Chain A
C-alpha cells in the first residue's frame, strides 16, 4: 500500500506485467481519439472502452476508478456550464446550442479522462519514467522525477502522521488553529524532505555516487497480440464513429 489509491491499483492491476509502451500506445490512442472525434458517438465509445478495459481485463477496482473520476468531474461540470452561459446586453442567458455544446465538452473531458485513468490505474509511474528517457528526456531530469516519485510517499506518510498528532492535540479545532497547524505541518514536511535528501545523499556518497543514480530497469516484453488488439479497437471506434456521424 502506497497511500495513493490510483498507484495502489496500478501495482495490483492484472496488466501490471504488460509492457508500458504497449499500454501507452493503447491509452495514448484512446486519448487522441477522444480529442479529435465528435462527442457522439466517438467519445461515448472511447469512454465505454476505457472503463470496460479497466474494470474488465485490467481488473481495476470500480470503487478506485469511480473515486478518481470525482476529482475532475467538479471542474468539468462548472467549466462546461460557464462555457455555455452567454453574457449579453440583457444580462446572462443560455447560448442557443447550450445543451449540445455542454454535452460535447463533458463528453470529450470524460472520455479523455477515462483513457488517462486507464493508463494511470494499470501502469505504475516507476514503469513510465524509464520510457521518458527513451523519449530523449535528459537523464538528469528523469532522475529528479524518479526521486520525486520515491520521496513523495515518504513525505505523504510524514504528513499524515504529523497531521494526526496535531489533530489529537486539538490543532484543527478552529479556523485560526487550522491555519497555524497547516503552516507548521508544511514547514515540518519541508525540513524532513531536506533531511531525507541529505541522508540519502550521504548514504549514496558512501557507496560511491559520482554521476547518476543508476538502477537496473525491469524489462517487460511487448505483446504483438495486445498491440494488434489495441489497434483494432481504436480502428473500430473511429470507423463506427465516422459511419454513424
Chain B
C-alpha cells in the first residue's frame, strides 16, 4: 500500500521527505562504507534490492477473494539489517514508481518512511525480541515479517490521517477511518506475508544455510569430530 503521486498536500510531502532523509542518508553511508571495504558487495546488495522488488510481484491468495502482494521489506530487514533496507527500500520504491506507476515521486519521502524505515525497524526488532525470548527462527521470522507489514500499514494510515484529519473527531477519528478501511486487505496480507516468511526461511535453511550463516541469521553449525558438519 503506497500513497499515490499527488495525494499528499505539498507541506506533508516535503515534511515526510525531511523526516525520512536522515534514515536514507544513514543507509546510503552504510552502503558506501560496505562497498568501499568490499567492492564485490555492490552485486550482493543489488541482488537484495532486486529480490525485494521481485517479491512484490509474487501474488498471495487473499481472504477477500482477490490476491495481494507482499511488501518484501520484512524478510529483507531480517536478512540484510534495517539501515541497508532504508536505502534499498527507497530505491525499490523509486523503481516501483517509475516501472509500475505504484507510489509516486512527491510521495516518495512518506512512502520511504513507512515502507523502508518503520516497517524494517519494527520487523527486525520483533524478530530479535522473539528470538531473545527463546523462540526458534521460524516463529521469530513470522513475527518480524507480519509486524513489518502491519507497521507499514499503520504508518501509512497515520500519514493519511495527519493529512486529512476528520472535521469533527480530528486526527484520532481520521486514523480509525483509514485503519478500518485498509485493514480489510492489510491484516490478511500481514498474516499471509508472515506465513510466506516462514516458508521462505524454511526453504533457505534447507538450501542456503551457508548464506544465512554468513549474514548472521543462523549460528554456524557445530563441527563433527571428523571436521565435517555435525
Contact = CB atoms under 8 A, between A and B. Distances in A.
Contacts of A198: 43-44
A140 B42 contact: yes
Main secondary structure of the interface of A (DSSP, over half): helix
B95 A149 contact: yes
A112 B5 contact: yes
B198 A183 contact: yes
B32 A140 contact: yes
A21 interface: no
Interface stretch (A55-63, A68-76, A228-236): A68-76
Interface residues of B, number: 76
A148 interface: yes
A184 interface: yes
Nearest to A180: B199
A19 interface: no
A190 B3 CA distance: 27
A34 interface: yes
Given A87-B177, A159-B58, A194-B208, A109 B87 contact: no
Interface residues of A, number: 84
B211 A194 contact: yes
A242 interface: no
A144 B13 contact: no
Interface stretch (B100-108, B123-131, B146-154, B222-230): B100-108
Given A35-B106, A82-B181, A180-B199, A152 B54 contact: yes
Interface in A84-108: 85-89, 95, 105, 108
A175 B2 CA distance: 26
A95 B174 CA distance: 12
A148 B207 contact: no
B91 A82 contact: no
Nearest to B165: A83
Given A79-B7, A183-B198, A147 B101 contact: no
Residue of A4, A145, A156, A180 with most chain B CB atoms under a 10 A cut-off: A145
B173 interface: yes
A166 to B, nearest CB: 11
B117 interface: no
Contacts of A75: 1-4, 7
Nearest to B62: A175
Given A152-B54, A187-B203, 5 more contacts: A6-B99, A43-B6, A88-B169, A144-B91, A183-B196
13 contacts: A6-B99, A71-B102, A72-B101, A75-B3, A86-B166, A87-B168, A87-B174, A112-B4, A113-B104, A140-B35, A182-B59, A183-B203, A212-B39
